[in-house]
């Protein structure tokens, strides 16, 4: 791993260079909301944020994805969609970067999803460490750190008047080939400063979720009335699923006009009763209790059992935005304490 220093005054030059050959997505302020959007100039970026409203999974797992186009009739044809992009996501937080690695398991299991995986292969992640985690951030509950470089290709850490740049692999080296003259090797002082910034951020995280042995504990309390208490507040709005960086449920619809059409994949939410409604009219998850319990189990029991990783990264979006204050930190910590 290369450890370099980049002064903040040289930073726009790096972005301008990367924009030349790639689609660069960075945090952008749109009407008081920070979202990841494509930028054409470094001045469009806004790095004064804790985390974006919509997680960057949207850039790889599009909300509306055309699977293929078709024209009906006797001369029918099907046209598959080509994904040929070189993407760079700048400013992705370590928690969101981990979420992309978690999504890999879902899209790479028995069937490899060509759309997500092609984009994933052609996307380079430049992470930005958190200097000031917010009230509901809890990545440290999963043995992660707000300045972790584990799931990104390059990591930027803001250490005052310069960025500490860690280039992890060949992808990152290739990307920064043309501006390597702007990067200077990091001194011991710089490395010390970076460690201090990371420790300060870790100390700022005030809320913790108890996750030891949670998969095992959850196994024992599936039928427990605890879930009814948790789920009764839920109004089924679906906000948690749409803004969760690891949620990946989808629906496939055909959209047609009289002369042409396409098959489209769109995001869906398991909090909708229609999600599991079968054609016979039977619904295996008829009540909110079933659906809320399913969501918690999917993240903290089914995923760890299948792929050895808890499918929650501690970004805190669901806690910030739940209109009835269903707090996943609280729910899971208490679930671990329920006597079976």
| Residues within the interface to other proteins (CB under 8 A) | 30-33, 53-54, 63-64, 66, 69, 81, 134-136, 204, 206-207, 229, 232-233, 235-239, 241-243, 251, 253, 255, 257, 260, 262, 264, 266-267, 269, 272, 274, 286-288, 319, 321, 323-327, 329-330
Please say which residue, 47 or 324, places its beta carbon nearer to other proteins: 324
Sheet architecture: strand order including 77-80: 77-80, 64-71, 261-267, 250-256
Cβ 181 to other proteins, closest distance in Å? Answer: 39
Q: Which residue, 275, 278, 271, 313, is CA-closest to 292?
A: 271
Query: What's the distance, CA 3 to chain centroid?
Result: 25
Q: How far is the CB of 265 from other proteins (least distance, A)?
A: 9
Which residue, 90 or 267, is less far from other proteins as judged by CB?
267
Is residue 157 within 8 A of residue 146, CB to CB? The reply is: no
Burial bucket for residue 250 (CB in 10 Å: 0-12, 13-18, 19+): middle
Of residues 31 and 278, the one with the C-beta less far from other proteins: 31
Residue 263, beta-bridge partner list: 68, 254
CB of 162 to other proteins, least distance (A): 26
Rg (CA), the chain: 22
50 DSSP assignment: S
Q: How far is the CB of 225 from other proteins (least distance, A)?
A: 11
Report, in Å, the least distance between residue 321 CB and other proteins: 5
Nearer Cβ to other proteins (309/321): 321
Contact indicator for 195, 145 with CB cutoff of 8 Å: no
Give the total residue count for the chain.
340
Q: Say how far apart CA 269 and CA 13 lie, in whole Å.
A: 41
Nearer to other proteins, 169 or 256 (CB): 256
Q: Nearer Cβ to other proteins, position 179 or 237?
A: 237
CB of 34 within 8 A of CB of 16?
no
List, in sequence order, every residue forming a beta bridge with 77; answer none if it has no partner: 71
Q: How far is the CB of 119 from other proteins (least distance, A)?
A: 17
Whole-number minimum distance, CB 5 to other proteins, in Å? 30
Name the residue nearer to other proteins (CB basis): 109 or 286. 286
């Amino acid at each position: 791993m290369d450890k370099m220093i980049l002064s903040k005054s040289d930073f726009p030059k790096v972005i301008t260079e990367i924009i030349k050959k790639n689609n660069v997505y960075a945090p952008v302020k749109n009407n008081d909301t920070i979202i990841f959007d494509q930028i054409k100039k470094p001045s469009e970026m806004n790095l004064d944020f804790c985390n974006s409203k919509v997680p960057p999974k949207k850039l790889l797992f599009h909300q509306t994805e055309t699977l293929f186009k078709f024209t009906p009739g006797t001369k029918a044809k099907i046209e598959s969609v080509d994904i040929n992009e070189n993407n760079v996501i700048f400013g992705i937080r370590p928690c969101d970067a981990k979420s992309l690695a978690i999504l890999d398991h879902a899209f790479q299991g028995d069937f490899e999803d060509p759309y997500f995986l092609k984009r994933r292969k052609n996307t380079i992640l430049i992470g930005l460490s958190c200097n000031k985690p917010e009230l509901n951030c809890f990545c440290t509950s999963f043995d992660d750190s707000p300045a972790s470089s584990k799931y990104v290709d390059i990591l930027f850490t803001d250490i005052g008047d310069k960025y500490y740049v860690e280039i992890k692999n060949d992808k990152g080296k290739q990307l920064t080939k043309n501006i390597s003259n702007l990067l200077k090797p990091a001194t011991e002082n710089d490395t010390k400063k970076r460690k201090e910034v990371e420790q300060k951020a870790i100390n700022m995280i005030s809320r913790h979720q108890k996750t030891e042995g949670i998969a095992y504990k959850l196994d024992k309390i599936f039928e427990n009335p605890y879930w009814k208490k948790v789920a009764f507040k839920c109004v089924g709005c679906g906000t948690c699923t749409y803004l969760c960086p690891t949620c990946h449920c989808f629906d496939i619809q055909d959209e047609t006009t009289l002369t042409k059409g396409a098959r489209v994949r769109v995001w869906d939410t398991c909090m909708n009763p229609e999600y599991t409604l079968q054609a016979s009219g039977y619904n295996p998850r008829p009540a909110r209790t079933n659906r809320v319990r399913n969501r918690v189990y999917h993240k903290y029991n089914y995923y760890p059992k299948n792929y050895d990783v808890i499918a929650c990264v501690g970004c805190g979006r669901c806690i910030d935005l739940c209109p009835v204050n269903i707090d996943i930190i609280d729910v899971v910590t208490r679930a671990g304490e329920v006597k079976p």
